[in-house]
Structure 1
Amino acid sequence: MRSAAAVKHFIVSKLLVYGSILFLVFIVACALFPGWIAPYSPTVMMPAQILQPPSAAHLFGTDFLGRDVFSVVVHGSRDSLFIGAASVIAGGIIGGTIGVLAGYVEGFFDVVVMRLVEIIMTIPGILLALAIAAALKPSLFNIVLAVAVSAVPGYARVLRGQILSIKRRSFITAARSIGTSRLQIFVRHVLPNSWSPLLVMATIGMGTSILVGSSLSFLGLGIIKEIPDWGSLLSQGRGYLTVAWWMSTFPGIIITMLVLSVNLLGDHLRDYLDPKNSRI
């Protein structure tokens, strides 16, 4: 019974991972080649088709301007994905650098830096991003900056803990005993063994960053463009929920599925990179 349950769990988990990968590939394709996937232009207004429900002609229905919602979602994926990817890269580089230096140098620098990081972590990430975005002018760069800054403390703490753990392992002690310099130990041994948790955290953080970026756009702090991103689509559709539920529902489903897919992929990557887990 246990073996049958384990096989069933393995199959289901693999199907979820492969499904997540396929969905992510589709979303990336939408961002890179929107004109090949969207059946209509996202800026073409069709007055005769205003607020049409989902149909074969309009998969996600039409909005209050007569635009095809599916086409707008496809074209809006570019900004949403860019916000998620760019903020993860920026936050990971900044936070990872802070964590690596704090963990390897230790001493007074570690105490000061990590106390500052802990102070920032007392502020909820979405609230910190909201405050930064509200203080700056709405632009793609400022949204990325706001989301990235809110993610920095998490990366810093994870990398610091990983560096401290690696420094106390036997192969580091052996390298010191033969006279290897601190710089060589850091470059050859510490850094190569510290990227796994950062990679997993960045993968999972991608979904969180997209969610935070969409939240800022929903609140009116996002990018003001002719082609709205997913958060702006949700905001536009909330006034039509009683007469055109599809305007907000489908962008919301896409955001939910993307965040879920990224989280599932991150969990699988964490299990795969964990040396304690046996791989089938």
Structure 2
Amino acid sequence: MNLEFIGGFQIFLGVLARFWPVWIALAIILVLTISFKKRLGLYGQLFDSYVGIAGVMICLFWVFTAIFSGTIAPFDPLGQFLVMKDALPGAIEPNSGQVFLFGGDKLARDVFSRMVYGSRIVLIIAPAATMFALMVGTTLGLPAGYYGGRVDSILSFLANLVLAFPVILLFYLLVTPGIMDTPIPYSMAGVFFLFPIIFFSTLFYTRYKHRPALLAVQLGLTLLIGGWIYVGLVFNADPLGIISIRPNELNIFVAVVFASSPGVFRIVRGLVMDIKTRDYVAAAQTRGETPWYIMLWEVLPNARGPLIVDACLRIGYTTILLGTLGYFGLGLAPESPDWGTAIKDASRLLRATIHPALPPTFALMSFVLGLNLLADALREQSLKD
């Protein structure tokens, strides 16, 4: 069957049109931000430079793409149309009349729709895994830097032990199918996912221990929400059915947290060792505050600048890592539309058809670029402060 095609300019207009919910959301955000910039603190200050504006807009573009992916994508990312196998960009699907804007892949799936749905997977796993790594690294880095001595020696040795192991080999060991079927990933998840609950419980206890009524509410909500997420992630037994994670997704999640936590630990440890010598920390010690109160409410807030910058960069590193794992076949399920798996599938026929590999590659590159620009803008603002 001979396919009909649209021209390059029509493809460009078609892509712009498909992203209409994203353009509307970005316009609303931009207008509101400019209108209330002075009241938005650090976020508003990012719009004082072109680098900050570019970083925020690129990141928000992919965030809204993930949110509105069901509206933007014209086809199911797993849907196959046999006549569209390896179709060139701009090919019109005969039955529906819809255009394969970026063409079809080797399994006759719409490349554009898979790129759009891939953003949802990347923007769930990468930021979430980074946040858990921050929780683990921060919870261990605070006492290491504050107490020093034997506590610091033991925790630093464990962190250096993980950092000394080759990252790719580490992921290969944690994500290969043989390990997936063992209790190791679930045991590691059970340990790592306790850290947010411990962190926030300690945070609220040290702050509100003299106000029992408010403390009970804070701890109750922490244990309820934390326990719900914990049961859903570790045991895949969310009673509400909202949190659901596949074994291979859990393995990748655990592997990213395990590999990223030591880096966060070293950053937090170094910051604490510097900040604990400041006068306001000595004043808190004179008042008789407990060590954990000082760590969480005096030291950590003053270390937020470098940690926010590191979080942005680390999300970018995690995104690249997910793409690398997908490229080597160690990522998500083979049919997953995530960008790494899409690049891997397209690379096998790269000499014959290059168009399926380009959209996920540019998507991955642009998202990481946005995170790097955002981190640069945040670094500039932290230096000014």
Same fold (TM over 0.5): yes
3-state secondary structure, aligned to 2:49: helix
Aligned partner (choices 163, 172, 178) of residue 272 of structure 2: 163
| 1:42 partnered with 2:77 | yes
Q: Is the 8 A contact 2:55 2:372 kept in 1?
A: no
> Structure 1: which 5+ residue stretches go unaligned?
1-12
The verdict on how the C-alpha distance between 1:145 and 1:165 changes in structure 2, with shifts beyond 3 A counting, is: same
- State the distance in 2 between where 1:127 and 1:82 align: 24
Any idea what SS the aligned residue of 1:139 has?
Answer: helix
Tell me which residue corresponds to 2:370. Answer: 261
**Are positions 1:104 and 2:146 aligned together?**
yes
CA gap 1:127/1:244 in 2 versus in 1, 3 angstroms: same
Letter in 2 for 1:80: V
1:120-159 matched pairs, under 5 angstroms: 120-134=162-176, 135-137=179-181, 139-159=248-268
Q: Determine the structure 1 residue equivalent to 2:285.
A: 176
Q: Matches of 1:239 and 1:50 in 2, distance apart?
A: 15
Deviation at 1:33, TM superposition (A): 2.0
Matched, 1:81 2:127: no
Aligned-partner residue type, residue 26 of structure 1: F
Gaps in structure 2 of 5+ consecutive residues: 1-47, 92-98, 182-246
State the distance in 2 between where 1:220 and 1:183 align: 43
Going from structure 1 to structure 2, the CA distance change for 1:80 and 1:180 (only over 3 Å counts) comes to closer
Deviation of the 1:74 alpha carbon: 0.6
Q: Distance in 1 between matches of 2:65 and 2:251?
A: 24
- Supply the distance in 1 between the matched residues of 2:311 and 2:160 (Cα, whole angstroms): 20
Distance in 1 (alpha carbons) for counterparts of 2:82 and 2:290: 72
Give 1:8's aligned residue.
none
Residues 52 and 374 in structure 2, CA contact (< 8 A), matched pair in contact too: yes
Give the superposition deviation at 1:220: 1.3
2:347 to 225, 229, 238: 238
Q: Which residue in the other structure is 2:158 paired with?
A: 116
Q: Secondary structure at the match of 1:62?
A: coil
- CA drift of 1:183 comes to 4.2
Task: Please report how far the alpha carbon of residue 172 of structure 1 lies from its aligned counterpart in structure 2 after TM superposition.
Answer: 1.8
Identity of aligned residues (%): 33
Q: Describe the superposition over 1:110-153 as per-residue Cα deviations: whole angstroms up to 9, x where unpaired.
A: 11110221122122434322322123356111111111111111
Contact 2:175/2:251 (8 A) holds in 1: yes
Equivalent position of 1:18 in the other structure: 53
1:194 equivalent among 282, 285, 303? 303
SS in 2 for 1:243: coil
One-letter amino acid of the counterpart of residue 374, structure 2: L
Distance 2:132 2:339 in 1: 22
Q: Cα offset for 1:180?
A: 4.3
For residue 273 of structure 2, what is the amino acid of its counterpart?
A: L
Q: 1:29 to 1:183 in 2, by over 3 A?
A: closer
Deviation at 1:228, TM superposition (A): 2.4
Return the offset for 1:178.
4.8
Are the aligned partners of 1:38 and 1:71 in contact in 2 as well (CA < 8 Å)?
A: yes
Q: TM-score, normalised by structure 2?
A: 0.64
- The aligned amino acid for 2:303 is S
Residue 31 of structure 2 aligns with which residue?
none
Q: Does the CA contact (< 8 Å) of 1:99 and 1:159 recur in 2?
A: yes
Tell me which amino acid in the other structure corresponds to 2:70: G
Which stretch shows the higher mean deviation, 124-133 or 63-72? Answer: 124-133
Q: Give the TM-score of the pair, scaled to structure 1.
A: 0.87
Count of matched residue positions in the alignment of Structure 1 and Structure 2: 265
1:179-225 CA-partner distances (Å, limit 9, x unpaired): 44434433431222122222211111001001111211221112216
**CA distance 1:59–1:76, change in 2 (3 Å):** same
CA separation of 1:184 and 1:144: change in aligned 2, threshold 3 A: closer
Quick one: structure 1 residues 16 and 271, their matched pair in 2 at CA, closer, same or farther if it must change by over 3 Å? Answer: closer
**Contact 1:129–1:149, Cα closer than 8 Å, also in 2:** no
